[in-house]
Amino acid sequence: MRRQTFLYFCVALFLVNCNQNFPEGALIISETDTSYNEDILSVTKKIQKNPSLAENYYLRANAFYFQKEYNLAIQDFTTSLQLEPKNPLYRYRLAESYLEKDSANYEEASKQLKTAIQIKPDYAEAQYLYAKLLLARQQYDQSDPILKQLTQNPDFATKAQLLRVVAYKEQRDTLKALAILDKILIEDPNNYDATMQKAMFLMSSDLELAAQYVDKALVIDEFSAEALYAKAYILQQKEKFADAEILYNRVIKINPAHVFAHYNLAVIQALFDNHDAVIDLCGKILDLETENYKAHTLRGYAFEQKGNKKAARMDYQAALNIKPDYEQALKYLKNLI
């Protein structure tokens, strides 16, 4: 019995010593754990053979990333950096993982990107992502110098210019934004993103010219949900509702989560008193976005037209719970008898 106890103790001690070979905080997975796929288990075997090799944690982190297991990817990227803290690629990929999470950690991503750029000043991918992050945080003065620098890089010039367009658009400097777009389209007439951006700028001022740019975008990419939606919206503005409806349905087929296509299709159905269709479409919108107050209001209107005042009142109130100053819902609720 004492010998058996001693044997158990040795096995436990051996396992502890094995674990101690792993870096602190490392993700330890059994190579026989079938809850992970073959890609993960394959790299895990390599990690167990050599727990101090950073590249293997990096490779497994990439596998987790592409499976959208971002927390696990972050843990493995962090371990790879613990072993090789001066590797800019590992920091860049860790930053990407932080930004992909539902609750994106901008501060940590920013820290990793800045460090990656300090290690490798000509790291264009990291510079571009960092500028994009700064732009998302509306830090225009900090993002623009980086984007200007990237315009000298052939691989990033157009992408950097397009981000500058977004920045100027957000700052309501339409003239500068359009000037950059026109320059891009002169150099690259078939650039899809610049073509669509130009169409969006023209949407409120020249619908016919906007339609021409949207048609051009569809020639470049006939399956673009964005361009199909824009064309449908233009047709809706022209009161060509049957044609718009066809295109909105195509958008939804390509992208079932396209909330705006669902909503505008519901608006068209409401115009023709197809209240059941409105209720169905608004229900789909609310499945995608529970706090869509416009969908609540439109569905409430459809319920009211069908004589279901109780359901209408509930939807109007739900809309106002989300946006208390939404005038349409306030008006409908006030007039509900």
Per residue in 170-195, pLDDT (tens digit) is 999 999 999 999 999 999 999 999 99
Cα Rg, the chain, nearest whole Å: 27
Whether residue 132 has pLDDT greater than 60: yes
| Mean pLDDT value across the chain | 93
Q: Report how far apart, in Å, the C-alpha atoms of 250 and of each of 209, 215, 244, 254, 282 are.
A: 23, 15, 10, 6, 18
The pTM of this model reads 0.80
The C-alpha atoms of residue 307 and residue 325 are separated, in whole angstroms, by: 25
pLDDT of res. 21: 84
* Each residue's pLDDT tens digit, 299-332: 999 999 999 999 999 999 999 999 999 999 999 9
* Confidence class for position 20, pLDDT limits 50, 70, 90: low
Give the CA distances from residue 171 to residues 57, 129, 139, 147, 174, in Å, rounded to whole numbers and listed in that order.
42, 20, 11, 16, 8
d(CA 181, CA 197): 8
The pLDDT of 137-166, averaged and rounded, is 96
